[in-house]
Amino acid sequence: MNANAESVERFRCAKCRNTTAIVRKVALSKGISPELLSGGGGKYRFLTCALCGYTEVYDLSVYAKKPAEEIVNNESPDLAPET
């Protein structure tokens, strides 16, 4: 299963709880909002809820640098647990 199919299969919208998503892989130029996206350029995965349009943006260079176990188990002790 490729990463896009896996993202869609596990998707649940944080806003409306819908389980249907649209995935797009996008390469952005360095001139696009460096304040908004770290580094301002590179490849990103946009995961959009098909019902409400809420969109999550993932920097693909982060996935390339870390093993899958580290990404899944990386929880910050400074954050309060979800309720």
For the chain, give every domain's residue range. 3-67
Residue 66: what pLDDT?
59
Query: What pTM did the predictor assign?
Result: 0.62
* DSSP states of 19-42: --EEEEEEEE-TTS-TTTSTTS-E
**CA gap 20, 11 in Å, rounded:** 7
Q: What percent of the chain has pLDDT over 70?
A: 59
Q: 3-67 has which fold?
A: N-terminal domain of TfIIb (2.20.25)
Question: Using one digit for the tens of pLDDT, what is the confidence trace for 37-60?
Answer: 655 567 889 999 999 999 998 888
Helices assigned H by DSSP within 1-83: 3-10, 60-65, 68-73
